[in-house]
Structure 1
Amino acid sequence: MSHRIIFHIDVNSAYLSWEAVHRLQHGDTLDLRTVPSVVGGDPVTRHGIVLTKSIPAKKYDIQTGESIFSAKAKCPELIIVPPNYSLYMQCSRAFGDILREYSPQVEQYSIDEYFLDFTQMGRLHNDPVATAYMIKDRIKEELGFTVNVGVSTNKLLAKMASELKKPDRVHTIFPHEMADKMWILPIEELFMVGRATAKKLRSRAINTIDALAHADLKWVKLFL
């Protein structure tokens, strides 16, 4: 390949997905991913915070990091599951092992995210996007949970791609696709732009990634 090809693989609602799969494998009939549910805190005392949430829980505007008490107030039927970190480490290692079958250059970014450098693997797998689908489907079939895979020429674009529509998707953001797929996004969705930075940018009418990309860098540095 004449240029770098990087994958970013991100587990969809990782802790909750891993809990759901584990419970289904051990006889539970309810899939936590299909109902309003969260992992975090103590379900009895309602202390602690939300670590991750199911897609149905998002409909109640439950946010990662908010208190269990607040989340329960928004959705009284919310199912709360305490975290099981030893299980999550096992699941993380299992999907990392699958990734290493496709490239020796695999970097763990967090417990539920990996980067994979596919650049030198063209002789074994000609089509990187087809390989991304293969990886996604293998993880789902063999481990029971879903991932998003972003494909691009660097880590930033690959990670941005994996954050597009979820779950269980493969997305690309190659440089020639940035204007159509990335620049249209709200400024908050740019990797490493937090709430405080986004507020400063929006106060200067920089509301999209496109606006920031075309802003004068020296001017932006004055207020960040």
Structure 2
Amino acid sequence: MPLTMTHVSKVFKDGPHEFKALDDVSMDVKSGEFVAVIGPSGSGKSTFLSTAGALLSPTTGTIEMDGKNVGDLSNKEKTTLRLDKIGFVFQTANLIPYLNVTDQLRMIYVAAKNDQHTGNEAELLKHFGLGHRMKNFPSELSGGERQRVAIARALVHDPELILADEPTASLDSARGRDVVELLANEIHDRGKAGVMVTHDERVLDLCDRVLEMKDGQLMEAEAVH
């Protein structure tokens, strides 16, 4: 499994007070599977995604990725794992204003200090309908185009796991659906594992499974209308 979480809890402390953001969460995601996690604000979705992406360490429980127990890794090894094995898609694209579209993808290799990149940036951008935008800067793109660049950037280093945080938040319904449909197709066609945190129930039919976060606990979602 690209991602397995077993009895994961995350507790934050504020002086004498404790807050359990994740409460005994267990899940796994297979290659080629796209899983949505829904739930109200404050339910633990962001903490869940950050913990799944090795940005936060669990208080208890285990997370296995790429056959490794993430808890056994040093901070440097966790950083390497994120750069090599995980592709992140954020709700506001998080593009660097002074880099053109092609360089947005190349910076992943720079961050990973990887000189072995395949040079597939142009091919990937053309695949996403951005061949005419390769030299443009983020300010010259539409919201949908920026999110497509973000997805291409998440895939350029061929990660095993794609984590998407509210990818439709800054888009209208039509462009939001286009972005999630693109993401779902890439996960299925390339055999990636994908997890998307979302409030947008209109795109859930594009996912293979829908889970719901309630008070830090993850469960199968009730029927979504």
Specify if TM > 0.5.
Answer: no
User: What TM-score range do you get, normalising by the shorter chain?
Assistant: under 0.3
Indicate the structure whose relative CO is greater, using CA pairs within 8 Å and at least 6 residues apart. 2
Query: Which structure is higher in strand share?
Result: 2
Please, what TM-score do these two structures have when normalized by structure 2? 0.27
Query: Which structure is higher in helix share?
Result: 1
Please, what TM-score do these two structures have when normalized by structure 1? 0.27
